[in-house]
Structure 1
């Protein structure tokens, strides 16, 4: 059985190692956030979410499958119960969550998408309070209020600048994505301690990849695998730089500086997405968006400090 990973704090490691770990965490957060921008570029070639996510997993599956096979050969077999849990976690956390996210990106800006996804810790808190009867303190209520005020601010801003129905639909899809990922996080807590994060992620990503590819071949003609060359290039970027690298960079950062600090560094994600959307896609960066982003980040920071 895999032993629990030791707790790492900012004061327990040398400064150069801490700075390196922080840089890795920030890089991983920026790369992971870039997937929204890449998805928007892919949609310009008139592909849909089913095709987009299939190509993403097609390019990332070989790496995760290689890690999964290595873990299967070097570690004890999983129990049947753990295997079924991993199937469920892979389907909810990486397949359904990613699919809903890419569906939503067809209708909303990358800035709003990233902010909604960034509410995942608040959904974890609400689900825990609702189903596990955990009391929410005054500071946590304040953090939730700040975060959701920020989302409402950016949402109303986007409503005024586009089609209200499409914006609302896209926001609901991404909201569903965030809830699915919150359920995944709640389900992985005990398993990470028992089988290790690398093994869990590799197995779950393999399950997700199989589901995404099966969905494509069931719902779409095989001829759609033939796409313009830029679609393959952008899908390669999506699979390698926006999926594989962020996963391993985040895990490396957690190993160096601890989960709490790595999570704090991840707050750069919504900000980087906002400005990448401006630079690459031409999406405007307004005062209202910056104010809403600031409220969301402040709320998540309060939740993290409280935790």
Structure 2
């Protein structure tokens, strides 16, 4: 496959994965119409996805050979997996109790700016003028969308919901920054499998402690939505995204995936009948522009970055 076809296949995979991820908030809001809370729903999602990650991890082990990691690296892998897929997901699910799916997706897209700031503080990476402008655009867009949502939302405690979703974005940014070195050693697909398995343990324990046998007594649609989330919002898009990154590079992936809030706004309007204000639309545009500028590099640098990333995970 030539480079052009490789790129467009990768871009298509990233676009499909962004659409799948955009459906997450919609499915969670549909599930919350039944008597189920965030930890129970997250437990079902992780429990249903676990067999797939175990099977794929075993397959990758068979074709790529066993993993050679030190005890410290295994601990680091478990820690970042629990951070990214247990804490960040739980905070996100809690936030959706209080705010709309469309606002949740806009707020969640604050995480690239957190990654930028964490790299600047923790690794002394220089923040360019372009990135400062991107930060201002992103936070201005989030503020505008948030103000527009307060008057139009039928939800109570919008501030509380926004807090949990922004905290989820911060925790997810910590996961991304902390996972970089381990991911280079394992490759993105194997890393995803092991990180998800590690995150499933505290999730299920939390669910069992909180609900016990009650986990087996929800209405059938709750289990159906949990299974759909496990397959089409968790397993499938994580691997499509990993393959997309391998083909087009991390920078291009961030830019393409930034269409996610637009997908969520469309779906939430059509399925959940949420009211979308002009402030949300304008705020979304500013956020997407900010994410674009955060991820954008000159063509030469982008090519170098793409090839470097591809070589680390092949």
- TM-score surpassing 0.5? yes
Give CA deviations for 1:126-168 in whole Å, capped at 9, x if unaligned.
1222233333222211110000000001111112234786100
Q: Secondary structure in 2 aligned to 1:220?
A: helix
Structure-2 residue corresponding to 1:207: 198
| More displaced stretch, 129-138 vs 235-244 | 129-138
Instruction: Choose the corresponding residue for 2:44, options 51, 55, 60.
Output: 55
Structure-1 residue corresponding to 2:312: none
Q: Secondary structure in 2 aligned to 1:168?
A: helix
Distance 2:71 2:19 in 1: 37
Structure-2 residue corresponding to 1:78: 69
Q: Secondary structure in 2 aligned to 1:186?
A: helix
Instruction: Choose the corresponding residue for 1:272, options 263, 270, 295.
Output: 263
Distance 1:133 1:260 in 2: 20
Structure-2 residue corresponding to 1:106: 97
**Shift in alpha-carbon separation, 1:285–1:226, aligned structure 2, 3 A:** same
Please show how residues 36-185 of structure 1 align to structure 2 within 5 Å.
Answer: 36-72=25-61, 74-162=65-153, 166-185=157-176
Q: Secondary structure in 1 aligned to 2:34?
A: coil
**Shift in alpha-carbon separation, 1:198–1:267, aligned structure 2, 3 A:** same
Query: Higher relative contact order by CA 8 Å / sep ≥ 6: 1 or 2?
Result: 1
Task: Tell me if structure 1 keeps the 8 A contact 2:80–2:178.
Answer: yes
Task: Tell me if structure 1 keeps the 8 A contact 2:53–2:193.
Answer: yes
Structure-1 residue corresponding to 2:252: 261
RMSD value over aligned CA atoms? 1.7
Unpaired segments ≥5 residues, structure 2: 303-314
Structure-2 residue corresponding to 1:5: none
Give CA deviations for 1:5-64 in whole Å, capped at 9, x if unaligned.
xxxxxxx94433332221111000110111110000000002100101001011100011
Distance 1:45 1:164 in 2: 17
- Is 1:283 aligned to 2:274, yes or no? yes
**Shift in alpha-carbon separation, 1:13–1:172, aligned structure 2, 3 A:** farther
Give CA deviations for 1:60-82 in whole Å, capped at 9, x if unaligned.
00011122334455223321011
Give CA deviations for 1:247-289 in whole Å, capped at 9, x if unaligned.
0111121222222222221011010001100011001222211
Distance 1:191 1:170 in 2: 32
Task: Tell me if structure 1 keeps the 8 A contact 2:148–2:277.
Answer: no
Q: Secondary structure in 2 aligned to 1:222?
A: helix
| More displaced stretch, 239-248 vs 70-79 | 70-79
Task: Tell me if structure 2 keeps the 8 A contact 1:275–1:285.
Answer: no
C-alpha deviation, 1:196, in angstroms: 1.1
Distance 1:136 1:165 in 2: 37
Q: Secondary structure in 2 aligned to 1:46?
A: coil
Alignment: residue pair count: 296
- Is 1:247 aligned to 2:225, yes or no? no
Distance 1:18 1:199 in 2: 22
